[in-house]
Amino acid sequence: MSNRKPVPAAIGRAGLALAIAVSSLSARAQTPAETEAPGGGQPLQTVTVTAERQPGGGLLQPEDVPKAVSTVSAGFIASQAPTENAFQLVSLLPGANVATSDPYGISPNYSLSLRGLGQDEIGVLLEGAPQNDIGYYYAYPSQFADTENVREVSLAPGSIDLESPIINGAGGLLSVFLKNPGEAPGGLVDISYGSYNERRGFVRLDSGQIGETGLRAFVSYSKTDVDNWRGYGHDKKQHVDFKAEDDWGGGNSVSLSVSFNDAVTSGYPLATSAEWSQFGRALNYDRSYVFGDANYWKFYVNTFRNLYFSSPSRFRLGHDLTLDVTSYIQTGYGNSPYGTELTTTGNDFGTELIAQPLDLPGAQGGTADVLGNFTGDQYRAGTVMKLSYTLGDHTLFGGLWYDYADDKDVESFTPVDAQGDPVDLWGYPEHNIRLPDGRIYSALDDHTTTQIEAFFLGDAVSLLDDRLRIEAGFKGVYVSRDGTNGLPGPQYSVSINDFQALPRAAVRYRADAADEVFANVVTNFRSPNEYALYNTYYGGLLSGTGNPFLEDEYSVSEEVGYRYTGDVVLASATFFNYDFANRQITTIVLVNGAQVNETINAGGQTSRGVDAEIGIRPVHGFSPYLSAEYLDARIDNDIASGGDYVRTAGKTAVRSPKVQLAFGVAYDDGGLFGNLVAKYVGAQYATFVNDETLADHGELDGSIGYRLSSLGPARAPEIRLNLINITDEKSLSGIATPTTNAKPAIGTYGTTIPGSAPAYYIGPGFAASLTLSARF
């Protein structure tokens, strides 16, 4: 892999092109103003110039909390391609290392790490409700709300709030907030068309105030269709968002948010370093089917259907007493399939040998191609209650969190017809291949229920006219998992019980209107994921033993930071340090052909570094932004592997680039608008012994648009062109499967430990998307 650094040249070429376009258009662009309708009626148009309120183009907002946090506002979100997901939207923020697989944000193959901490260690909330998979802690940003409905996305890389319903937040917290329903009836319509036959339509209807009730609501629907940017396949997605809110004054409010997502997306194969060198972007699934070909693209079509409810509400119980309640419900079902083959005889089911032959449709010579399913069926519900009481300079608060989840994961098999088309992409039981006695034939059948019970207490003291704020708190979290292994074998029931005590403290001092400093000490933990509890079987024998006694990951992190909030410049710098015990690294392994998450216990780890960002309030319409991170993440000990230990003490942790840089500049004069943004990610190790590296890489994106005069019922129509990976840089975008060692290594006891090649996400190619939108 090349170590060249293409980003600076790319910025020069695309930046010059966009600057010429902006200069030529800005001479003609005028800030839209109200124009009187014929006959002296209502003005045809009122355009609000948002640039004046968007320092750094909407990538940096004033903050006043004693921790590092960055917020992407609606102004920046509105300038991006409407298909972009929440991970893409925060990719320019300090420390956000985002790996992408497609330009439009639809594929489930995305990854986010913060300060070298993986996606499964980052809590994700949508309107206060957890979005992480309860079993594996992954979040899938393509399932979140449509960007037209998002008010802001905030990223706190160091810690989560005490009341946040998260049990995997060592890496920080990503929070998505929806826009409030409009005060007046109206709506928004937009349509997009772009590269790879991208077609998308979106419509939102706002009810406005409903009579004298104070209740208002919006509902939206979007539909997206796009061909795979490489290889073969087609993606389609339907999404519905709904939000209702009632604010009856005095600080009392109730809201309900609902999101429904239905997606069928074709997968992209991961690449090893050798495969990338040999095939590059040509590494794809096969276009045509022949019998015996498990690499046919139709065997790798992912299906997901999810429904989320969240109801954050606030009640004033007295002058100094407030109750906050957030209740949520989630249901979801999906299939991540793969191609494989079965034989009619010689089969096993767990440790049970199957004497009678299987009935396999389409079998030839005793063998049949089938779709291997990896289905997940999940239900989750919970409530967080927080009571706050103001007593003089103190705000005392305490609360409870209860969460119940039911998760069933099955690896079953479905027939395919003579043309290679699966009988059922969703892997539903009624179409599964069955044993002669009627049982579903499966390679994995785990059913887990998880209960979380937590309490938290805290005090925030405001002194010196709120120039000094001191916070201290404690959270106790109890996690219990109970499950059953449906495969015949020595294991049937499993259970694990965890309790962790999580103290914290923070302080913020505001020297004057512009300058403030802060510091905090925070503890976090991560309970082992549920897959680690279960036995696995292969060839009728035990191939992996579940371990209910795995240690929780536990971390202590410290931050010391400075913020400057001036009339023109906003800036911040945060120094951080983490100490980990039982550091858990999630990778992807093949289990009977299926891509399954697996956790590696990497022991102790020490990570430290600095994040910085600076943004300029618009000057003559221009607002620049710059962010940077330096990270030094070291493994503290050797790691067990193959009955020995690989020599990892003192090595750099995986997915931990030393340097990340981001730059953006936005322009908005009320009519003409656009931006140019670039992200550079330094080289990072893909193995724990540091014998294979993902090369440094970068991406340059841009947009340009114009707001037109209103026409009839179309109020302030807008046209926008988004350009993704402008220079079409060909690179690997992230590490999907880190391993202990890529090459054979000699362990501490002298054993030769075989190497295993890491695999990577292939970064997307150039794409352009044109969007037309209008309010009414």
Tokens of 404: 């119940």
The enclosing H or E element of 279 equals helix 273-279
Q: What pLDDT score was predicted for residue 348?
A: 94
Phi, psi of 9 (to 5 degrees): -65, -40
pLDDT at 23 over 70: no
* Domains identified in the chain, total number: 1
Mind listing the pLDDT tens digit for each residue in 540-562? Answer: 988 888 877 778 888 899 999 99
- Whole-number Å distance between alpha carbons of 130 and 139: 9
Mind listing the pLDDT tens digit for each residue in 230-259? Answer: 999 999 999 999 999 999 888 899 999 999
Decide which of 157 and 277 is more confident. Answer: 277
Q: What pLDDT score was predicted for residue 594?
A: 45
pLDDT at 10 over 80: no
Q: What pLDDT score was predicted for residue 125?
A: 96
Q: What pLDDT score was predicted for residue 116?
A: 86
Q: What pLDDT score was predicted for residue 600?
A: 66
Does residue 26 sit in helix, strand or coil?
helix
Residues 713-735, mean pLDDT to the nearest whole number: 95
Is the residue at 2 inside a domain?
no
Mind listing the pLDDT tens digit for each residue in 520-544? Answer: 999 998 888 888 889 988 889 888 8
Residues 278-304, mean pLDDT to the nearest whole number: 96
Residues 364-390, mean pLDDT to the nearest whole number: 96
Beta bridge partners of 279: none
Place of tokens 């400093």: 517
| CATH code of the domain containing 337 | 2.40.170.20
Residues 45-72, mean pLDDT to the nearest whole number: 76
Beta bridge partners of 634: 606, 652
Q: What pLDDT score was predicted for residue 552?
A: 84
pLDDT at 14 over 60: no
Q: What pLDDT score was predicted for residue 18?
A: 36
Out of 156-160, 215-219, 487-491, least confident range: 156-160
Residue 659 makes CB contacts below 8 A (sequence gap 6+) with 628, 629, 630, 631, 680, 682
Q: State the residue range of the domain holding 276.
A: 7-775
pLDDT at 22 over 80: no
Q: What pLDDT score was predicted for residue 51?
A: 39
Is the residue at 1 inside a domain?
no
Beta bridge partners of 186: 206
Q: What pLDDT score was predicted for residue 664?
A: 96
Is the residue at 304 inside a domain?
yes
Mind listing the pLDDT tens digit for each residue in 130-156? Answer: 999 998 898 999 999 999 999 999 999
Is the residue at 651 inside a domain?
yes
pLDDT at 606 over 80: yes
Mind listing the pLDDT tens digit for each residue in 193-217? Answer: 999 999 999 999 999 999 888 899 9
Mean pLDDT is highest, among 54-68, 123-137, 241-255, 445-459, for 445-459
